[in-house]
Amino acid sequence: MQLAADMALPTDPLSIGPLSIGIDIGTSGARAVAMRPNFSIAARSAVPLDRFGQNARDPSVWWSAVGAALTELLSGIDRAAVRSIAVDGTSGTLLPVDGAGRPLAEPLMYNDKVDDDAVLAVIAREAPAASAALGATSGLAKALLFQRLPGVAAVLHQADWISGQFSGRFDISDENNALKTGYDVEARRWPDWIAATGMRMELLPGVVRPGDVSGTLTASAAHLFGLARDVAVVAGTTDGCASFLATGASAVGDGVTALGSSLTIKILSDRPISAPQFGIYSHRLGDAYLAGGASNSGGKVLAQHFPLARIIELSAAIDPMTETGLDYYPLPAVGERFPVADPALPPRLTPRPADDADYLKAMLEGIAGIEALGYRRLAELGAPRLISVRSVGGGAANPAWTAIRQRKLGVSFLPALSDEAAAGTARLALMGAIEAGLS
């Protein structure tokens, strides 16, 4: 699968020609996007998980939300035009299933920690220092717990299980979801050291590339949604990788900055980058790699000082082309993980100017400086030089902050075609259909 550049075309309520569908199952809901062969979006839908129950980790709630989002999406397009479908899910969310794909226990979510010292110790002993399977939230740690259950036939990632509802296959994963379970994306196989942890290798799914066709719709899924049996089910990805793909970033050196409650940066690299001390590991996307890190700085620290309406008001009074001269490192609390790995690093937010606009400006400058340092840190670790940035998240809509960031980074700022993970997954579905000659 090669990455392809999107075309920024408008969304239309109805579609003409073949369509590919991307589904994102997140922590709060399910979203679906239908995409045309020119990468424009024909339709989209979203359904909250709590419509079907309060337990967001119940697989039946996931599937109900996915089904409702897909049904709503299909109501606005020509069902006969659908050629392929792919799913993304939260990275590191796993569940055990029996031979028919039925869940045997409540899933362990992406942020759930395994508190079994023996499990964590054996992984720490056997795993390479750069492995994404290290740590209490790793997929492998969860798999080692789940394999103890009676009747377990497979341990799957969230996206694997949802895809299995469409294809009937509960033995397939993708390279991105499998990464935190120990998959070697460079060698493209489950490495031998995993068996040394005591993991029963037959319980791990086979792994294919994101965008590879892994099957077609089952008769029951085709009937349920009114789709053709030959609709291809395409291997998906994680929600984070899908969000990157959705922006249209496709060239080595393209960066994506997410300005949400925290600051996250990712860059497309021609080689894998690993730095466990910074929480950095690389997903594989086609023949390239996606590397990045997350700072504790970001919108959360701004919100500690000003409500959103006040931030908007003050930003209008900021001159982004001048410097305050203040050297801030805005953090919401003590501790930083990237681009500085220091759990004791204190916030630096003094001296405080008398003018609120200057105070906000100094914080925006500080976060922009952290962003610039982050991209430099990735380059020091072997990533390519940053050539462009696309921005997503609430902070991307702040013109003053954008101008400050442009001045600090000194590279082209390009529009993000979308920040919807489902749109990135639809791209995979479309590319899979194209490579299979279905679109």
pLDDT tens digit sequence for 330-357? 999 999 999 999 999 999 999 999 999 9
Contact yes or no for 88/246 (Cβ under 8 A): no
End-to-end CA distance of the chain: 15
Q: How far apart are CA 264 and CA 367, in angstroms?
A: 11
Contact yes or no for 425/24 (Cβ under 8 A): yes
Residue 9 neighbours by CB distance under 10 Å: 12
- Give, in order, the Cα–Cα distances in Å from 427 to each of 252, 283, 378, 416: 18, 17, 26, 14
DSSP-derived 3-state class of residue 276: helix
Strands 82-89 and 19-25: parallel
DSSP-derived 3-state class of residue 409: helix
Q: How far apart are CA 243 and CA 164, in angstroms?
A: 22
How many CA atoms lie less than 13 Å away from 393 in the CB half-sphere? 20
Q: Which tokens hold the place of 390? A: 């696309």
Q: Which tokens hold the place of 250? A: 């496709």
- Give, in order, the Cα–Cα distances in Å from 344 to each of 22, 88, 336: 41, 35, 7
Q: How far apart are CA 189 and CA 185, in angstroms?
A: 7
Contact yes or no for 296/262 (Cβ under 8 A): yes
Contact yes or no for 213/66 (Cβ under 8 A): no
Paired with 215 in beta bridges are 233
Q: How far apart are CA 107 and CA 51, in angstroms?
A: 19
Contact yes or no for 8/439 (Cβ under 8 A): no
Compute the chain's Rg from CA coordinates: 22
Strands 412-414 and 82-89: unpaired
pLDDT at position 15: 45
The one-letter code for the residue type at 402 is: T
Distant-in-sequence, close-in-space partners of 127: CB < 8 Å, separation ≥ 6: 133, 134, 140, 182, 193, 197
pLDDT at position 16: 61
Q: How far apart are CA 288 and CA 335, in angstroms?
A: 32
Contact yes or no for 128/193 (Cβ under 8 A): yes
Distant-in-sequence, close-in-space partners of 413: CB < 8 Å, separation ≥ 6: 388, 389, 390, 391, 402, 405, 406
Q: How far apart are CA 410 and CA 388, in angstroms?
A: 9
Ramachandran class of 229: left when φ > 0, alpha when ψ lies in -120 to 50, beta otherwise: alpha
Positive or negative, the CA dihedral 331, 337, 338, 339 is positive
Q: What is the DSSP letter of 342?
A: B
Contact yes or no for 341/294 (Cβ under 8 A): no
pLDDT tens track for 265-304: 999 999 999 998 888 989 999 899 999 999 999 999 999 9
Q: How far apart are CA 431 and CA 210, in angstroms?
A: 10
Q: Whole-prediction pTM value?
A: 0.90
Q: How far apart are CA 75 and CA 350, in angstroms?
A: 55
Q: What is the DSSP letter of 116?
A: -
Residue spans of the chain under pLDDT 70: 1-16, 439
Strands 82-89 and 232-238: parallel
φ, ψ (nearest 5 deg) of residue 215: 170, -170
Taking the CA atoms of residue 105, residue 108, residue 113 and residue 114 in that order, the dihedral angle to the nearest 10 degrees is 40
Strand ranges, E, within 117-212: 154-157, 172-174, 206-208
